[in-house]
């Protein structure tokens, strides 16, 4: 109910408390959709130039992306470690590995074979896995809309990959990239649930900076064991790739994860995963600039998948 001041109703405070966090959550959702929708485009042009020549191999792209994000978040570590409790340590490390580390490499490897638009569409599986994990592990109560949304979402995912898997002669090498995307989205969903159910009392700045601190140093060390510096000296377009991945890391990883974790804190895990409503749209539009073709069946599939996500989020 509205509060009373001097005998009058203070409606401004009432509506601010009622709608403030909701509007903030939707603002985060829109910004993140644009940032993450363009991340698949940046990964693609980071891997190869406009002529199809390799700019950067996927293992270097993944390691460099995490390293840059870790460096960007290092100034936040001092205050973050002060808020870290013993009960948080394991879950923050797991969140860093499955929510940031593994997907960075999985998406990079997958996009050596898949179009960025297809990758962006399949990212919409995150809410599907989110509900499954929440139900199995965290006793989330599955209702009719969740069950219906899961079923419809799986049908949509099959429609997206149907042409690639069933209408062409494929080998095991063609299926592995799709399985990598499935695993990456599962990792995102697992991390999302850990943040919501196990790290609720730790702020988003601490979660983000410490989770990258758990994996960033290992990626930096790994870069020194590769031909990273030889490529800088001898491969001109490699430096262009570094610039692209720097943008991806600082904006699409470090800043975006801060926003995403904060959105989870002020909303729900399922609402936060709804960023996947809009990511495919941005990914498809940017994919057109790379000459990628999206079939009617795939567009229909993403429509069906988003319908499933909508049902999952229906109260």
Q: Convert the pLDDT of each residue in 136-172 to its tens digit.
A: 888 777 778 888 888 888 888 888 887 766 656 666 7
Kindly state whether residue 185 falls inside one of the protein's structural domains. yes
Check residue 301 and give its pLDDT: 87
Instruction: Tell me: pLDDT of 3 over 50.
Output: no
Q: How confident is the model at residue 269 (pLDDT cuts 50, 70, 90)?
A: low
15 is written with which tokens? 């509506």
Kindly state whether residue 34 falls inside one of the protein's structural domains. no
Q: Which residue has the tokens 């969740």?
A: 146
For residues 196 and 215, give the distance between their C-alpha atoms in angstroms, rounded to a whole number.
Answer: 21
pLDDT tens figures, 196-206: 888 888 888 88
User: Quick one: which of 209, 242, 182, 265 has its CA closest to 96?
Assistant: 209
Cα–Cα distances (Å) from 276 to 6, 119, 239, in that order, read: 46, 12, 31
Instruction: Tell me: pLDDT of 4 over 50.
Output: no
Q: How confident is the model at residue 99 (pLDDT cuts 50, 70, 90)?
A: very high
pLDDT tens figures, 272-315: 766 767 888 888 888 888 888 888 888 898 888 888 887 877 66
Mean pLDDT of 210-226: 95
pLDDT tens figures, 9-45: 455 555 455 556 778 888 888 888 888 889 999 999 9
Kindly state whether residue 83 falls inside one of the protein's structural domains. yes
Kindly state whether residue 15 falls inside one of the protein's structural domains. no
Most confident of 25-29, 73-77, 137-141, 221-225: 221-225
Instruction: Tell me: pLDDT of 225 over 90.
Output: yes
| Sign (positive or negative) of CA dihedral 59, 64, 69, 73 | positive
For residues 220 and 233, give the distance between their C-alpha atoms in angstroms, rounded to a whole number.
Answer: 18
Kindly state whether residue 2 falls inside one of the protein's structural domains. no
Kindly state whether residue 251 falls inside one of the protein's structural domains. yes
Kindly state whether residue 216 falls inside one of the protein's structural domains. yes
Domain hosting 228: range is 40-47+56-313
Check residue 271 and give its pLDDT: 74
Domain count, the chain: 1
* % of the chain at pLDDT higher than 90: 30
Kindly state whether residue 142 falls inside one of the protein's structural domains. yes
User: Quick one: which of 143, 169, 97 has its CA closest to 311?
Assistant: 143
């Amino acid at each position: 109910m509205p509060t009373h001041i001097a005998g009058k109703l203070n409606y401004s405070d009432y509506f601010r408390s009622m709608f403030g966090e909701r509007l903030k959550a939707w603002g985060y959702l829109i910004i993140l959709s644009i940032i993450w929708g363009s991340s698949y485009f940046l990964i693609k042009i980071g891997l190869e130039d406009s002529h199809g020549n390799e700019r950067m191999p996927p293992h270097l792209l993944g390691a460099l992306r995490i390293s840059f994000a870790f460096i960007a978040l290092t100034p936040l570590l001092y205050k973050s470690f002060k808020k870290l409790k013993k009960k948080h340590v394991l879950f923050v490390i797991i969140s860093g590995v499955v929510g940031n580390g593994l997907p960075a490499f999985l998406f990079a490897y997958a996009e050596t074979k898949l179009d960025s638009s297809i990758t962006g569409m399949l990212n919409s599986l995150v809410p599907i896995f989110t509900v499954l994990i929440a139900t199995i592990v965290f006793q989330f109560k599955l209702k009719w809309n969740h069950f219906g949304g899961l079923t419809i979402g799986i049908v949509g995912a099959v429609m997206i990959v149907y042409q690639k898997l069933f209408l062409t002669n494929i080998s095991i090498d063609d299926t592995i990239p799709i399985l990598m995307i499935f695993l990456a989205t599962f990792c995102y969903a697992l991390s999302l649930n850990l943040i919501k159910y196990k790290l609720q009392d730790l702020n988003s700045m601490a979660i983000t900076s410490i989770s990258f601190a758990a994996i960033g140093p290992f990626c930096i060390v790994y870069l020194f064991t590769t031909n990273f510096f030889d490529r800088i000296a001898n491969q001109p377009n490699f430096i262009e790739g570094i610039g692209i991945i720097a943008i991806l890391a600082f904006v699409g990883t470090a800043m975006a994860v801060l926003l995403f974790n904060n959105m989870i804190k002020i909303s729900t895990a399922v609402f936060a995963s709804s960023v996947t409503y809009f990511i495919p749209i941005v990914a498809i539009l940017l994919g057109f600039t790379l000459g990628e073709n999206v079939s009617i069946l795939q567009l229909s599939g993403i429509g069906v998948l988003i319908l499933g996500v909508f049902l999952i989020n229906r109260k």
